[in-house]
Amino acid sequence: MENKIDPLVKDREFKEAVGAFVIAFYELEFGLVFLCSMTDFDIYNRDYYLKKYIGMSLEQKRNVISDFIKEQMPELTEVWKSINSEIGQLNKDRRYIAHGFMSYHIPSENISTYIREKGVINERLLTVKEICTLTKRLYKVNTGENGVNGEFHVLFAKTRINKWNRVVNDKYKIV
């Protein structure tokens, strides 16, 4: 008996995989915006500073956090380096998935994606399964161990608030 592939099922699987990846990346970017907002001096007006960072590129947000950690919270350097490295790799994958995919031919398992890097067009073939694996990596960097929207978020905020409380008078301390 011939194994037939339903093109509508394949189409739905592809769109679900890409959609889940893109949404997970948005969640990551918002987590970075929150961390950036904690780098400004006035923690009480953190919500105001959210607007400042929302329009920044991913690279700019990563740099703001990296610079702040280097200068103000060096004890978080090693954890941040690991997170930042994973974000960098996932961003390369995002470029192919969100900006570069050009064609997929149902019922083929491969999705052809093309992006321009330094004047050269690069092709990458991805499967739905590979996109789902990348999404799981995003979930981990978002909310897994040392996740931007999880443990690292709490560690960063707690460290930042403790440092704030050391330099302000009792009226402005955050408890």
3-6: list long-range contacts, CB under 8 Å, 24+ apart. 5/106, 5/107
123 in Cβ contact with 112 (< 8 Å): yes
119, β-bridge pairs? none
For the stretch 18-47, pLDDT in tens is 999 999 999 999 999 999 998 987 777 777
Domain ranges of the chain: 7-165
Assess whether pLDDT exceeds 60 at residue 87.
yes
> Is the link from the previous residue into 74 a cis peptide, with omega within 30 of 0?
no
22 in Cβ contact with 97 (< 8 Å): yes
Assess whether pLDDT exceeds 90 at residue 69.
yes
Rg (CA), the chain: 20
Higher local confidence (pLDDT), 12 or 167: 12
Sign of CA dihedral 50, 55, 61, 67: negative
The model's confidence at residue 172, banded by pLDDT at 50, 70 and 90, is low
Q: What is the pLDDT of residue 101?
A: 66
Mean pLDDT of 83-93: 95
Residue among 63, 37, 62, 67 nearest 50 (CA): 37
DSSP secondary structure letter of residue 109: S
The rounded distance, in Å, linking the Cα atoms of 164 and 17 is 42
Q: How many other β-carbons are positioned within 10 Å of the β-carbon of residue 33?
A: 19
For the stretch 92-150, pLDDT in tens is 999 988 887 667 666 667 788 888 889 998 888 888 899 999 999 999 999 988 899 99
End-to-end CA distance of the chain: 68
Residue among 58, 55, 33, 68 nearest 148 (CA): 33
Burial of 138 (0-12, 13-18, 19+ CB in 10 A): buried
Q: In what order do the strands lie in the sheet with 101-104?
A: 101-104, 110-117, 120-127
Assess whether pLDDT exceeds 80 at residue 48.
no
Q: What is the pLDDT of residue 35?
A: 94
